[in-house]
Structure 1
Amino acid sequence: MDVARKSVSAGASARMDSALNQSMMQLLDHVEYRLITGGEDLEAIYRLRYNSYRRSGMCGPIAGGMFEDRWDNLPNSYRFGVYFDGHLVSTLRLHHLTREHPYSPSVDAYPEILAERLARGETFIDGTRFATDPDLAPAPGVLPFLTLRICMVAYCYFRQTAMFIPIKLEHSAFYARFFSAKQMTEGKSFPGVIPPLALFEISGNEENFHRILDRLPFFRSTPMEQRLMFGNPAINRLTPLSIVPTAKFFRAAA
């Protein structure tokens, strides 16, 4: 009986994944990623952060209605806006952490996890300041996938030891299911936000890397897309660099 239940459950999960992949591939035709370093687009993602965080109770009132912090302009920082049919729908910031550039909010918040490993030469991606505008979502539940695809492009480019994401514990099931994320800390104070966040690690080993991409092929990307996103932070560029998702071209480019 248990074997039968597991088989039915696995079949249902596979059908859900197939429907998700088909839907996401279609949605990506309308998506544009922008690597943002200045100008009006930068103000727009700061406003989106603030509005999203205020709505969810992540932060209190901020004069000017924009949420930015001292980690935004670091040389190892990448700020992205996700645009659907030309409208900003979400934003995410990544820091590429190395022994030479060990700077990010998670390093400050969880030194007991990150400091020693960075000193040993491990490398990480730190994903923070994830914010969405649900009123502009093209369909329920898709914005996390459209946005976190940026993390998988970073995986393909940097091949880092692991990715770290500080999140509310109520979101842990999503990251565990799709990324095999493991909880590394209890919820604790995190810079700039009100609720406690726990640090979750997504392993960068080849087995986990390929498992995620095989299960969710819309996370795939060509080397050209990877280079456009992460080849040069160009922190002083005023005009954002626009990048079109390349998942549907991956098979032809491989």
Structure 2
Amino acid sequence: MEAAAKGASAGASSKADSLLNRTMMQLLEHVEYRLITGGEDLEAIYRLRYQSYLKSGMCGPIASGMFEDRWDNLPNSYRFGVYCYGELVSTLRFHYISAAQPYSPSIDAYPEVLLERLARGETFIDGTRFATDPDAAPAPGVLPFLTLRIAMVASNYFGQDSVLTPVKVEHSHFYARFFNAVQKSEAKQFPGVLAPIALFEIPAGENMRRTLERFPFYQSTPTEQRLMFGNPAINRLTPLSIVPTAKYYRAAA
């Protein structure tokens, strides 16, 4: 009886994964990622952050209507907007952290977890300032997958030890289910936001390989990886637009 229940659960999970993969591969035909460093697009992602954070209680009112912070313009910072059918639907920022550039919000928030590991030579991708516009979503529930695909492209490019994802504990089930994220700290005050945030870590290596096999829409070609992360281009005024390459990666690998 127990074996039958487990088999049914596995079958349902596999069916759900297949539906998600089909939906995402179709949507990626209409998606572009923009590496944003200035101009109106930068203001747009700051406004989206603010609207999302204000609505969720992550921040209070800000007169400018934009949410930016002291980590945005660091040399190891990458700010992205996700556009679907030409409309901004979400945004995410990354810092690539190493002993040479130990700069990111998570380093400041969780030094007891990360500083010793950096000194040992470990490297990390720190994903923060995730914000979405649910009203602009092309389909229910897809924005986290469209947005966090950036983390998978970054992981393939940098080859870091882990991806860091500071999140509310109540949101952690998503990261554990789809990325095998592991909680590394208790929830605590996080720089720039009101809600307590815990640090979760997504191991690279074999874990990332299995995730890419399970969800092929996370795959990317080396060309896409280089365009997204080969140069932060902090002073670029015109955003660099990158088209997802999941359907091409096998031929280009």
| Residue in structure 1 matched with residue 188 of structure 2 by the alignment | 188
Tell me the equivalent position of 1:213: 212
Residue in 1 that maps onto 2:20: 20
Match in the other structure for 2:135: 135
1:63 shift after superposition: 1.2
Give the Cα separation in 2 of the matches to 1:161 and 1:251: 24
CA distance in 1, matches of 2:135, 2:175: 23
Q: Distance in 2 between matches of 1:252 and 1:73?
A: 36
- Report deviation, 1:250: 1.3
1:101 aligned residue: 101
Counterpart check, 1:232 vs 2:231:
yes
Partner residue of 1:74? 74
1:9 Cα offset (Å): 0.4
Q: Residue 127 of structure 2 aligns to which amino acid in structure 1?
A: G
Ranges in structure 1 where 5+ consecutive residues have no aligned partner: none
- In the TM superposition, what is the alpha-carbon distance from 1:64 to its structure 2 partner? 0.7
**Match of 2:250, as an amino acid?**
R
- Separation in 2, partners of 1:123, 1:102: 9
Distance across 2 between alignment mates of 1:227 and 1:243: 10
Following the alignment from structure 1 to structure 2, what is the Cα–Cα distance between the partners of residues 199 and 251? 34
- Residue 115 of structure 1 aligns with an amino acid whose one-letter code is L
Question: What is the alpha-carbon distance in structure 2 between the residues aligned to residue 19 and residue 85 of structure 1?
Answer: 21
Q: Give the letter aligned to residue 239 of structure 2.
A: P
One-letter code aligned to 1:244: V
CA distance in 1 between counterparts of 2:143 and 2:218 reads 13
Matched residue type, 1:114: L
1:187: Cα distance to partner? Answer: 0.5
CA distance in structure 1 between the partners assigned to 2:163 and 2:67 by the alignment: 23
Among all aligned residue pairs of Structure 1 and Structure 2, give the percentage whose two residues are the same amino acid.
75
The residue identity in structure 1 corresponding to 2:185 is T
Q: How far apart are 1:241 and its partner, in Å?
A: 0.3
Q: Deviations over 1:102-149 (max 9, x none)?
A: 000100000001111111110000000000000000011100000000
Q: Quick one: which amino acid aligns to residue 109 of structure 2?
A: A
Off by >4 Å, runs of 4+ in structure 1: none
Q: Distance in 1 between matches of 2:220 and 2:55?
A: 33
The 5 Å alignment of 1:44-123 reads 44-123=44-123
> What residue ranges of structure 2 are gaps of 5+ in the alignment?
none
How big is the shift at 1:209?
Answer: 1.2
What does the per-residue CA deviation read over 1:44-98, in whole Å, with 9 as the maximum and x for residues that have no partner?
Answer: 0000000000011100001110000000000000000000011000000000000
Q: Does 1:125 align with 2:125?
A: yes
Structure 2: distance between partners of 1:65 and 1:88 = 17
Name the structure 2 match of 1:251: 250
Equivalent AA in structure 1 for residue 39 of structure 2 = G
Question: What is residue 204 of structure 1 aligned with on the other side?
Answer: 204
Q: Deviations over 1:152-187 (max 9, x none)?
A: 000100010001000001111100011000000110
Tell me how far apart the structure 2 counterparts of residues 226 and 144 of structure 1 sit (CA, whole Å). Answer: 19
TM-superposed CA distance for 1:251, in Å, is 2.1
**Cα shift at 1:253:** 1.6
Q: Which amino acid aligns with 2:166?
A: P
Q: How many residues align?
A: 253
Q: Secondary structure of the equivalent of 1:29?
A: helix
Residues 173-215 of structure 1, C-alpha deviations (whole Å, 9 max, x = no match): 100011000000110000010110000000012x101110000
- Write the letter of the residue equivalent to 2:83: Y
Amino acid across the alignment from 2:54: R
What TM-score, normalized by structure 1, do the two folds share?
0.99
Structure 2 equivalent of residue 153 of structure 1: 153
Return the letter of the residue paired with 2:219.
R
